[in-house]
Amino acid sequence: MTDPLIVACPSCNTLNRAPRDKLAAGPGGKCGNCGAPLFDGHPVALGAAGFGPHAIKSDIPLLVDFWAPWCGPCKAMAPQFEKAAGRLEPAVRLAKVNTDEEQELAGRFAIRGIPTMILFRHGREIARQSGVMDANAIESWVGRTLGG
């Protein structure tokens, strides 16, 4: 039996223990607090309250798309980021942060242009990429960055 991974629930941000082998087999598992699926193939909308559980406390790497609703390139990349979420989960959690609504988070990570993606592992920024990317490019970049 393998050690469990800590996974933050996309619905309530509760930390859950999930067996590593079950996650490796594909998305699965439900939150012990609210019963929501731990992975559903879609990016999670994150605000300041949910950022810590997903970025710092979860064992799953977190890829965050910092965006704004008025940004044309952000709108163009949104379906590609959605597609990448369906392909990368459960190995990587994908999330979106609206920089208009979450200015404190945008400031904390010195977001100067959007869209900007930041890949986190255990609360540390391990890579950053600005500009529009398609789903294949997102997957390739994440794979190279994580060594997979």
- Residues labelled as active-site residues: 71, 74
DSSP string, 98-144: ETTT-HHHHHHTT--SSSEEEEEETTEEEEEEES---HHHHHHHHHH
Which residues is 116 bridged to in the sheet? Answer: 66, 130
- Report which of 19, 14, 7 is spatially closest to residue 62, judged by C-alpha positions: 7
- Report which of 59, 56, 52, 47 is spatially closest to residue 16, judged by C-alpha positions: 59
